[in-house]
Chain A
Amino acid sequence: MDPLLVKALIIIAIFGITLLIATYSTWAERKVAAFIQDRNGPNRAGWGGLLQPIADAGKMFFKEDFIPASANKWLFIFGPSLAMLTALMASAVIPFGDTILVGGQEIQVQAIEVNIGILYVFGVVSLGVYGIMIGGWASNNKFSLLGAVRAASQNISYELAMGLSIIAILLMSGSLSIRAIVEGQHGGNWNILYQPLGFIIFLTCAFAECNRTPFDLPECETELIGGYHTEYSSMKLGFYLFAEYINMFASSAVTACLFLGGFNYPFMDDVRNGLISSLGDVTGHNVATAIGTLVFFAKILFGIFFFMWVRWTLPRFRYDQLMSLGWKALIPLAILNVVLTAAGVLLEMRWLPWLAVIVIVAVAIVQAAMAPKKQLRTQRV
Chain B
Amino acid sequence: MKLTNRAKPIDNSPMTVAERLYIPAIANGMGITLKHFFKKKATINYPEVQRPFSPVFRGLHVLKRDEQGRERCTACGLCAVACPAEAITMTAAERKKGEEHLYREEKYAAEYEINMLRCIFCGLCEEACPKAAIFLQPDKIAPAFYERDEVIFGKDRLVEKMDDRATTGIEKYTGVKS
Contact = CB atoms under 8 A, between A and B. Distances in A.
Interface of A: 32, 34-40, 43, 200, 309-310, 312-314, 360, 363-365, 367-368, 371-372, 374-375, 378-381
Given A37-B36, A40-B43, A364-B18, A378 B29 contact: no
30 contacts: A32-B37, A35-B36, A35-B37, A36-B33, A37-B36, A38-B39, A38-B43, A39-B42, A40-B45, A309-B33, A309-B37, A310-B30, A312-B33, A313-B29, A314-B26, A314-B29, A360-B17, A360-B21, A363-B17, A364-B16, A364-B17, A364-B18, A364-B21, A365-B18, A367-B17, A374-B13, A375-B9, A378-B6, A378-B8, A380-B6
A39 B43 contact: yes
A380 B13 contact: no
The 7 closest A-B pairs by CB, nearest first: A364-B18, A364-B17, A381-B5, A313-B33, A40-B43, A368-B18, A36-B33
Interface residues of B, number: 26
B169 to A, nearest CB: 32
B41 interface: yes
B11 A375 contact: yes
Q: At the interface, is chain A mostly helix, strand, loop or mixed?
A: loop
Given A38-B39, A372-B13, A309 B34 contact: yes
A39 B37 contact: no
Interface of B: 5-6, 8-9, 11, 13, 16-18, 21, 23, 26, 29-30, 32-34, 36-43, 45
A368 B41 contact: no
Nearest to A365: B18
Contacts, number: 66
Contact of A368 (B5, B16, B37, B43): B16
Contacts of A367: 16-18
Nearest to B22: A325
Contacts of A32: 37
Contacts of A371: 16
Contact of A40 (B29, B32, B34, B41): B41
Contacts of A378: 6, 8
Contacts of A372: 13
A216 to B, nearest CB: 16
Given A32-B37, A378-B6, 12 more contacts: A36-B33, A38-B36, A38-B43, A310-B26, A313-B30, A314-B26, A360-B21, A367-B17, A368-B18, A375-B9, A375-B11, A380-B5
A368 B18 CA distance: 7
A380 B39 CA distance: 28
B17 to A, nearest CB: 4
Contacts of B37: 32, 35-36, 309
A35 B45 CA distance: 15
A140 B177 CA distance: 72
A40 B5 CA distance: 35
Contacts of B17: 360, 363-364, 367-368
Contacts of A312: 33
B15 to A, nearest CB: 9
A368 B83 CA distance: 67
A254 to B, nearest CB: 22
A187 to B, nearest CB: 28
A34 B45 CA distance: 14
Nearest to A377: B8
Centre residue among B11, B18, B42 by max chain A CB count within 10 A:
B18
Nearest to B35: A36
Contacts of B5: 379-381
A38 B18 contact: no
Nearest to B23: A200
B89 to A, nearest CB: 43
A36 B36 contact: yes
A40 B33 CA distance: 15
Nearest to A38: B42
B11 A39 contact: no
Contacts of A365: 18
Contacts of A37: 36
Nearest to A329: B20
A279 B98 CA distance: 97
A375 B7 CA distance: 12
Given A36-B33, A39-B43, A40-B43, A374 B11 contact: yes
B18 A43 contact: no
A207 to B, nearest CB: 11
A365 B42 CA distance: 39
Nearest to B34: A309
